[in-house]
Structure 1
């Protein structure tokens, strides 16, 4: 388990002789922070896992190039690792485009995948030769014509899984059987180039066959656009793919549906660039959050459960150094269940009804509500695995509380792999 600290630009990376379990590395970090008498939280990125996820994607859907959704976690090491390994990037704003271009990534490896864009952002994309961008309305089409007539447009269609954890159909997408065709016609009339079709069925898709429906619609619109004179050559199958190892069977099920649908609907078409916009897929399971209990207060359990029958029972209130205005913002807004685990469990410890609060003065800053936990104390560390998707990128410093400090770990084998693919050029 030999460890070396590798200096890479402004970042420090923990270099190990082998791929390390994230919990083991987090225990080392917690020991170091305790020795320093530090109260800061820690967010560990396993760069090994990012590489593992990319290889899994390439094994299951080799024809489809991932364009990493920068919004999911704009982490400098994740972006550099994926850039060095040939991924493209899904950007939704000027700042995200700038972040990627600053790494000398070619503009052709970026898709500006926001169907409603600031005019000044479109102008910026034009100056930087970022041609690929999405639209889903006549208003956006005309705006792009006014600002960037040479843009290569990808029409986003509306195909949603209503059972997904996040559904985008209300906000984005043109109805594929009517509005999408009208937009292809108008684009032709005003001299704008539509080069492809995109869709996003939602985050956490449970209905894998919806991808077949979306790809079938895409082919119909490819054919219609071609008849109108558009050079249709990009199929973008969106994002939202599961990022935890435990969810791999669902990902493999989705991949099988996508592969079969491509064979059926695009098997006879040559020269189609197939891309996707995964973010959570790479990041969710690649990060582990380690929070510290800054106060542990024993209270009557009815204060937590709001049930008078529990008034004679003991309960615990734990206050962490992170909360819903920090790493847990998405968990709060999307009602995502999270459960922290003691970093160092105590065998035989008393288990009590508990509530876990964030550090701010806000009464809504609740991380876990009315859950049974083993008794813990001030200074104990609480582990939250799978905390890489829409966490650090959403953190605020509300009430003056800092974001958790980022830490990176990678094996020597995988660091050499990244060096062979030019990551040193992206410092």
Structure 2
């Protein structure tokens, strides 16, 4: 594995020098890299408002950094909302981006000053109308991920375009402000062309509402989906932006408001999980495939390896000196048979690995600490350290 594909020499020295002072497992996040990713995204989409998806990594240090850079924030719960507000984020820069919420949560958010909500169901819309009157609402349309997203999001969220139209009409009847349409093409989306078909659906909703009901929507929320740098090569964010802007130009004028809701693409590359090998074993005397057990696993940071969907690059210093490598099974430390990260994907690691050696899981800044269990098998939540 070529470490330089992921981090510069200066970045890696900073991370590794810090890691040597701490006991594993833990996540270390380079805030300079978060800043780099944000500026790159902002420059690629100069007309868009960036709403960082707090769920990707809710660290206060990240919120502070992105606040300094002018980011807005997308929250998925009142708990994320409280954290954003405690970090000094003004309610005008926060969107309540979860379609699944209690009436009490809507009321609480409204009382805290939130005036922008998403919906995809009539019952949810009714709650917004009752407990957040006169708010702006945008509807989440269901779109396909094209089978090219490593973490699809197409079944649980969103509604059919016809229902999206009905909900915006109903929103106006209920005294709300029909504001726009959102969608999500799937997390770690590797094919930019799926945005084209999604924007075609959005255009259909816009046209139907304007032509048949006199409702002019203002917002297109392009969602997230932009990839982090894992094992598979991905196109640059500039390439994504160029193509998406071309798709927008096909259907919409310059007056439309654009939102982005990035999470993974902003913080994923900035993080490294540092782990230690606890055990190396074979399952029989004739089995030459090694099982490598580490002190970090599915339940304390690596849940996105379920189904081997997200494939993190893994580095160990012995890669530089080892003469031979072989395929391994990588598993976590807990007493649960699900705690296996990679068994089918042939990860190659040095044959001279030993118990106590460290493994570095690269590009793990997103959806690791926020997914980690609280106390499964007694293991504490994954510690996180932030480097300026």
**What does 1:23-422 align with in structure 2 at a 5 Å threshold?**
23-33=12-22, 38=23, 40-163=24-147, 164-176=149-161, 178-226=162-210, 228=213, 230=215, 232-244=217-229, 247=233, 249=235, 251-267=237-253, 269-270=254-255, 272-297=256-281, 299=282, 303=284, 311-312=285-286, 314-332=288-306, 335-345=309-319, 347-369=321-343, 371-374=347-350, 375-396=352-373, 397-410=375-388
Q: What is the SS of the residue equivalent to 1:68?
A: strand
Aligned to 1:11: none
Q: How many aligned residue pairs are there?
A: 374
Change (3 A) 1:315 1:349: farther
Per the TM alignment, residue 405 of structure 1 is displaced from its structure 2 partner at its CA by 2.9
Q: TM-score, normalised by structure 1?
A: 0.80
Aligned to 1:4: none
> Does the 8 Å CA contact 2:369/2:383 hold for their aligned counterparts?
no
Per the TM alignment, residue 323 of structure 1 is displaced from its structure 2 partner at its CA by 0.8
Q: What is the SS of the residue equivalent to 1:235?
A: strand
Q: What is the SS of the residue equivalent to 2:189?
A: coil
Change (3 A) 1:296 1:239: same
> Does the 8 Å CA contact 1:195/1:230 hold for their aligned counterparts?
no
Change (3 A) 1:295 1:361: same
Q: TM-score, normalised by structure 2?
A: 0.88
- Per mean C-alpha deviation after superposition, the further-off stretch among 123-132 and 146-155 is 146-155
Per the TM alignment, residue 284 of structure 1 is displaced from its structure 2 partner at its CA by 1.1
Q: Tell me how far apart the structure 1 counterparts of residues 307 and 94 of structure 2 sit (CA, whole Å).
A: 29
Structure index of larger Rg? 1
Change (3 A) 1:134 1:56: same
> Does the 8 Å CA contact 1:339/1:368 hold for their aligned counterparts?
no
> Does the 8 Å CA contact 1:338/1:368 hold for their aligned counterparts?
no
Q: For residues 4-45 of structure 1, what are the alpha-carbon distances to aligned partners after superposition, in whole Å with 9 as ceiling and x for unaligned?
A: xxxxxxxxxxxxxxx864432333134323xxxx4x323121
> Does the 8 Å CA contact 1:67/1:87 hold for their aligned counterparts?
yes
Change (3 A) 1:249 1:399: same
Q: For residues 190-222 of structure 1, what are the alpha-carbon distances to aligned partners after superposition, in whole Å with 9 as ceiling and x for unaligned?
A: 332211111112123244233233334334433
Per the TM alignment, residue 223 of structure 1 is displaced from its structure 2 partner at its CA by 4.4
Per the TM alignment, residue 128 of structure 1 is displaced from its structure 2 partner at its CA by 0.9
> Does the 8 Å CA contact 1:70/1:90 hold for their aligned counterparts?
yes
> Does the 8 Å CA contact 1:115/1:136 hold for their aligned counterparts?
yes
Per the TM alignment, residue 186 of structure 1 is displaced from its structure 2 partner at its CA by 2.1
Per the TM alignment, residue 119 of structure 1 is displaced from its structure 2 partner at its CA by 1.0
Q: Output the aligned Cα RMSD.
A: 2.4
| Structure 1: tracts of 5 or more residues without a match | 1-18, 304-310, 411-427
Q: For residues 280-333 of structure 1, what are the alpha-carbon distances to aligned partners after superposition, in whole Å with 9 as ceiling and x for unaligned?
A: 010111101111123334x3xx64xxxxxxx54645333211111111112125
| Structure 2: tracts of 5 or more residues without a match | 1-7
Give structure 1 regions of 4+ aligned residues with deviation exceeding 6 angstroms: none
Q: Tell me how far apart the structure 2 counterparts of residues 206 and 295 of structure 1 sit (CA, whole Å).
A: 35
> Does the 8 Å CA contact 1:197/1:236 hold for their aligned counterparts?
yes
Q: What is the SS of the residue equivalent to 2:342?
A: strand
Change (3 A) 1:244 1:353: closer
- Per mean C-alpha deviation after superposition, the further-off stretch among 240-249 and 60-69 is 240-249
Q: What is the SS of the residue equivalent to 2:113?
A: coil
Q: What is the SS of the residue equivalent to 2:337?
A: coil
Q: Tell me how far apart the structure 2 counterparts of residues 336 and 280 of structure 1 sit (CA, whole Å).
A: 12
Q: Tell me how far apart the structure 2 counterparts of residues 137 and 388 of structure 1 sit (CA, whole Å).
A: 32
Q: Tell me how far apart the structure 1 counterparts of residues 347 and 188 of structure 2 sit (CA, whole Å).
A: 25
Per the TM alignment, residue 373 of structure 1 is displaced from its structure 2 partner at its CA by 2.3
Per the TM alignment, residue 141 of structure 1 is displaced from its structure 2 partner at its CA by 1.4
Q: What is the SS of the residue equivalent to 1:392?
A: coil
